Amino acid sequence: MRAEASPPPLTAPGVRVPLNEVREERFTLLDGGTEAYPRMLEAIASAQVRVHLEVYTFERDGIGARFLEALVAAAHRGVAVKVVVDGWGSIGASRHLTQTLEAAGAKVRVYNPLTSLCTGRSWRNHRKILLVDDSVAFLGGINIGDAYAANGDQPGWADLALELRGDICRQLGATLHAGASALESGAVRLFLSGFAGGHRLRKRYLQAIDGAEHEVVLAHAYFLPDKGFMRALKRASRRGVAVRLMLAGRSDVVFARAATMRLYRDFLRAGVSIHEWTDSTLHAKAALVDGRKLLVGSFNLDPLSLVNLETLVEVEEPGVAAQAQRWFDKHLRGSRRVYLEDCARSGLQQWLLDIVGLAVARLAERFASFMGRRRKR
Residue 358 resides in a domain: no
Same domain for 262 and 302? yes
Lowest mean pLDDT among 140-154, 254-268, 322-336: 254-268
- For residues 237-241, give the mean pLDDT: 98
Same domain for 166 and 200? no
Residue 355 resides in a domain: no
Residue 365 resides in a domain: no
Q: Which residue has the higher pLDDT, 113 or 257?
A: 113
pLDDT in tens, 172-187: 999 987 778 999 999 9
- Return the H-helix or E-strand segment holding 203: helix 199-210
Same domain for 212 and 282? yes
pLDDT at 356 over 70: no
Same domain for 171 and 212? no
Distance CA 203, CA 205 (A): 5
Same domain for 226 and 322? yes
Residue 4 resides in a domain: no
pLDDT at 308 over 70: yes
Residue 1 resides in a domain: no
Number of domains in the chain: 2
Distance CA 64, CA 89 (A): 14
Dihedral angle sign, alpha carbons of residues 363, 365, 370, 375: positive
Same domain for 281 and 324? yes
Same domain for 113 and 47? yes
User: DSSP letter string over 103-172?
Assistant: HTT-EEEEES-GGGGGGT----B---EEEETTTEEEEES--BSGGGS-BTTBPPPB-EEEEEESHHHHHH
The last residue of one of the domains, among 113, 146, 178, is: 178
The last residue of one of the domains, among 129, 155, 178, is: 178
Supply the pLDDT for residue 11.
Answer: 38
pLDDT at 129 over 50: yes
Distance CA 115, CA 122 (A): 10
The last residue of one of the domains, among 133, 157, 178, is: 178
DSSP state of 300: -
Distance CA 99, CA 103 (A): 6
pLDDT in tens, 309-342: 999 999 999 999 999 999 999 999 999 999 998 8
Residue 354 resides in a domain: no
Supply the pLDDT for residue 376.
Answer: 42
Give me the domain span that covers residue 255.
188-343
Same domain for 100 and 217? no
Same domain for 206 and 330? yes
* Ramachandran assignment for 3, one of left (phi > 0), alpha (psi -120 to 50 degrees), beta (any other): beta
Residue 319 resides in a domain: yes
Same domain for 144 and 203? no
Query: Cβ contacts of residue 166 below 8 Å, gap of 6+?
Result: 22, 23, 24, 25, 26, 185, 186
Supply the pLDDT for residue 9.
Answer: 38
Residue 276 resides in a domain: yes
Same domain for 196 and 161? no
Distance CA 215, CA 367 (A): 33
- For residues 156-181, give the mean pLDDT: 93
Same domain for 144 and 212? no
Distance CA 336, CA 345 (A): 18
pTM (predicted TM-score): 0.87
- pLDDT grade for 120, boundaries at 50, 70 and 90: low
pLDDT at 373 over 80: no
